[in-house]
Chains A and B, each alone.
Chain A
Amino acid sequence: MIDAPVLAVPRMRSLDRRQCLKMALGLAWAGPAVTTSAQSIKPRMKVGFIAHYQPYSFLQADGSLTGFDVEVVKALLDASGFEMVPVTDSLTQLRKKLRDSEIDFIGNQLLRTPENRRQFDFVNSYATIQLVTVLHEDDDRDFLSLENFLGKNLGVLSNTGIDEQARGVLGKTVRGFERIEDALRALAERKLDAVLEENLIAEYFIERDELPLKVGTPFAAPIRAGLAVPKGNKNLENRLNEAVKNLVKAPRFKAISSRWFGYDVSRPRVSFATGV
């Protein structure tokens, strides 16, 4: 699953009428941010990805870039007639590169925090991300609030918001882990009662490592996130929004999603009925 390289090698082709039209449309689509290569018939877009962010974007041992976001963004750009030129770095550096117009947009879904919204505009999300409990697959207990973990062993990723929040309620029974995969492995070995983590990260490690675990109760509302585009570039934002809207209905997205997580993650996994 994670071995497939996603970087297309540009190929030399003669331009036919359709391709010329596609290129012209592409240039009109994103304006000056688009560059073309002598080796490629497609206009190119530089997309920034976090270098070590499993399962969304990460470098493999052979140096190739892969990840769910990488494949989705490539599909978005393919459908729009663009070639993706990935740029990998830390999130801090990617923010700087976006501000300095060194990249066209960030290919990972960033949180729509007030600070991020001051700096960037956001494309609509293509995946539902939510903080959830992870339990052993044989465990039928219902942990619906932090108070339900009193006297239990809860694992979290160290130095995160949920780590701080959990320790505030539960104290020292919360175990922090430097890597979430270590927390999940401890849970699989029944050294913990549960782990709190984002659903997609948990689903990925459960699938990848074939852990006897399951994603359980949501702990918070779905997180608002999206691809970050330069502030004010409504043309790019609107076009990517349209591309996302079309892609999530397409078989290609479902195939990508199923390969990484085992199901279509574009749809919410919670619902509610309102009344008075």
Chain B
Amino acid sequence: MKVVRAVGLWAVGVSCLWGAGLTAVLAQTEDVNDMPGASIVRRFRPPQVDLVRFQPMPADHRLLNEPKIKLLARKDGYEFCSRITGAPISATSRPMACAYWNVKRRECTVVTPEVTGFNYVGHEVRHCFEGAFHD
């Protein structure tokens, strides 16, 4: 499995959720087994409640099966996500992560601020499999 070096262990942690079902690729790629702390990450299992929440639907119900997923952690993550989704930035709420996908090419990109949370990334990665599932 290949992951983005720029996001380091974040990508590893998220990728572990889906095991072989998730193939994250990027321009700069590296085998997770060669990365520092790989043995710890391999043993990591998220809490069961998160597994349920982030578990994508069975393959035949997904919008993108076996998508290529790119993770981008950016300084302007909040502003970028607000701009492409229309979600406002206010004192009480702001987009903590966002995703966009190309159905035909089975490609998906998750964008976050530099500091984010496992739950936000997991939620967006689920979108990478299922597309828009909120309604």
Could you list which residues of chain A lie within 8 angstroms of chain B, going by C-beta atoms? 130, 137, 140, 142, 144-145, 203, 214-222, 262-264, 267-276
Contact = CB atoms under 8 A, between A and B. Distances in A.
B105 A214 contact: yes
Contact of A215 (B74, B84, B102, B127): B102
Interface string B69-108: 0101010100011011111000011111111111111010
Interface of B: 26-27, 63, 70, 72, 74, 76, 80-81, 83-87, 92-105, 107, 109, 111, 117, 119-120, 123-124, 127, 131-132, 134
A272 B101 contact: no
Q: Which of A142, A219, A270, A275 has the most CB of B within 10 A?
A: A270
Given A267-B131, A272-B96, A275-B96, 17 more contacts: A140-B27, A142-B109, A144-B72, A214-B102, A214-B107, A215-B102, A218-B84, A220-B83, A262-B103, A269-B102, A270-B99, A271-B99, A271-B132, A273-B95, A275-B94, A275-B117, A276-B92
Contact of A272 (B63, B85, B92, B117): B85
Contacts of A214: 102, 105, 107
Contact of A275 (B84, B93, B127): B93
Given A262-B104, A272-B87, A144 B99 contact: no
Given A142-B72, A267-B132, A272 B103 contact: no
Contacts of A203: 104
B120 A275 contact: yes
Contact of A144 (B74, B87, B95): B74
7 contacts: A140-B27, A222-B86, A263-B104, A269-B103, A271-B100, A271-B124, A275-B93
Nearest to B104: A262
